[in-house]
Amino acid sequence: MIRFLFCFLCLPLLSNAQKADYRVIPLPQQITADTTRVFLLTDGMEIGYPSGNPEIERTAGFLRQYIEETAGLNMKMTSGSRRAQIILTIKPEKRRNADTADGIYNGKYTIRIGKDGIALEAPTAEGLFRAVQTLRKSLPLSKGQPVAFPCGEINDQPRFAYRGVHLDSSRHFWTVETIKTYLDMLALHGCNQFHWHITDDQGWRFEVKALPELAEKGCVREQTVIGRNSGVFDGQPYGGYYTQDECREVVRYAAERYINVIPEIDLPGHMQAALHVYPNLGCTGGPYPVWQVWGVSDDVLCAGNPATIEFLKTVLGELCSVFPSKLIHIGGDECPKKRWKSCPKCQARIRDLGLTDDGQHSVENQLQTAINHEIETYLKSLGRDIIGWDEVLEGGLTEGATVMSWRGIQGGIEAARQHHNVIMAPVDYCYIDYYQVKENWNAPISIGGYVPASKTYSFEPVPNDLKEDEKHYILGAQVNLWCEYIAYPSHLFYMLLPRLDAISEVQWTDPRQKDFNDFKLRLRHQFRLYDRLNVNYCKTVE
């Protein structure tokens, strides 16, 4: 009689309940569900977590926040309780494969849904955070109504260890609050690497305490070209830089979401903002205005000036005191050698090093590699490794360097064959500063080109050209968002979403499970979540 009464009282709740859907983005590797049996999540239930573990307590707090903002249900928090309806538990396990990368193992988790509650289990705290994100995205966007979770199990782990997203804060400056929202989107999609581009010709955005004028003066361009190098300028000074404390706040916020921040100081090219402050570091002596147009400046750091290396060590030394990332991005892309070819200091340095044209690498390209070697040695003394764009291949790779392949996939293939780690980010698939709609006359301005979500979704980071024993050098994939033409947060997130959704399934999901038509169906719920979060996105999916 008591059991009958309980079921009778639950009937109104079940009739009002909305059902959770575990087919989220990115799609988990394995889902089993029995839609005839459910767990009913209602207002006032408890989230349990291990006592004495502030890290998991924080993740449990995230889950409580997510359930409230998504489903409108208020949950209680309790430590050490086995009677809570949602329980977060660390379950250490032996790795089945000793070669499994940390980024894969740490993202592993299981969600078990029974009629009495939900158990989130993982071998690491990061895995529990990934489980929480999946549970969050499975919630229907109902306010204050019970949620029916079909009984079953989700077993999941990411495909790739490196799941990256890039942001350019040099061309246009983004506030710390905007960057935090950006990081929230990365966390929502299972990404674990934030590649932060903070210096370039058009603005130096990182505070160096030993060189205070570098950011104070190097961050400000006197005006900015209108449109695509039209020759017409807005006449308005533009600036802004991040103090080291602000950078530490970004690092802290990212770390709470299990995201590593990889800073990029692009060298030896893309340095005109620095040359504006220290013209003695250029080949011609300047003057060098902070660049007011887009593109690549011929004026780069003088490779024959000993002060150049000292400058870079000062900058990178302070950078490493702020950013704990094992990888430090040194750029290395688009460094014209025009000045070096006519610079007496650079040519003298080439002779001192005994560099000769070997038929494959010019002496100037080898000179850039010599700079990379010096910087790599210095960074290794600080316990760091370098990562660079695929141009770092042109003068011969330094030992231990990771290559970010952007001019197609060939650079990544070449690096993997040389047994170097590779991040695939080819422009044709992963440059999301390009238009994402074919009929773009009414779309916000972009650099041009056409990379729709379907193109990003179709990307396969591991080339068939590689041998089996070479494929493991492909650590993962990344999308890049350059911001010459993106000046406002609404435009920024319009360019990011839903192509971030697309790359997240490339990074996370078994490619045999990918289906673009099914992906578009699942995007509908994701779009409603973006509306709830008040984040802009492109509503046209091509």
The string of pLDDT tens digits covering residues 262-314 is: 999 999 999 999 999 999 999 999 999 999 999 999 999 999 999 999 999 99
Q: What is the DSSP letter of 398?
A: P
* Structural fold of domain 162-533: TIM Barrel (3.20.20)
Catalytic residue ranges? 200, 270, 334
Cβ-count burial 225-238 (b if 16+ within 10 Å, e if not)? beeeeeeeeeeeeb
Q: Which residue spans of the chain are classified as CATH 3.30.379.10?
A: 16-156
Q: Are 158 and 507 in contact (CB under 8 A)?
A: yes
Run of H or E residues at 337:
none
Confidence of residue 5 (pLDDT cuts 50, 70, 90): very low
394 band by pLDDT with thresholds 50, 70 and 90: confident
pLDDT at 8: 40
The whole-angstrom separation of Cα 220 and Cα 215 is 8
| CATH 3.30.300.30 holds for 16-156 | no
Per-residue HEC secondary structure of 457-508 comes to HCCCCCCCCCCCCCHHHEEEEEEECCCCCCCCHHHHHHHHCCHHHHHHHHHH
Mean pLDDT of the chain: 95
Average pLDDT over residues 115-143: 96
The CATH 3.20.20.80 domain(s) of the chain lie at 162-533
pLDDT band at 210 (very low <50, low <70, confident <90, very high): very high
Confidence class for position 434, pLDDT limits 50, 70, 90: very high
Residue 419 region, left (φ>0) first, then alpha (ψ -120 to 50), else beta? left
pLDDT band at 35 (very low <50, low <70, confident <90, very high): confident
Q: What percent of the chain has pLDDT over 90?
A: 91
pLDDT confidence of residue 324: 98
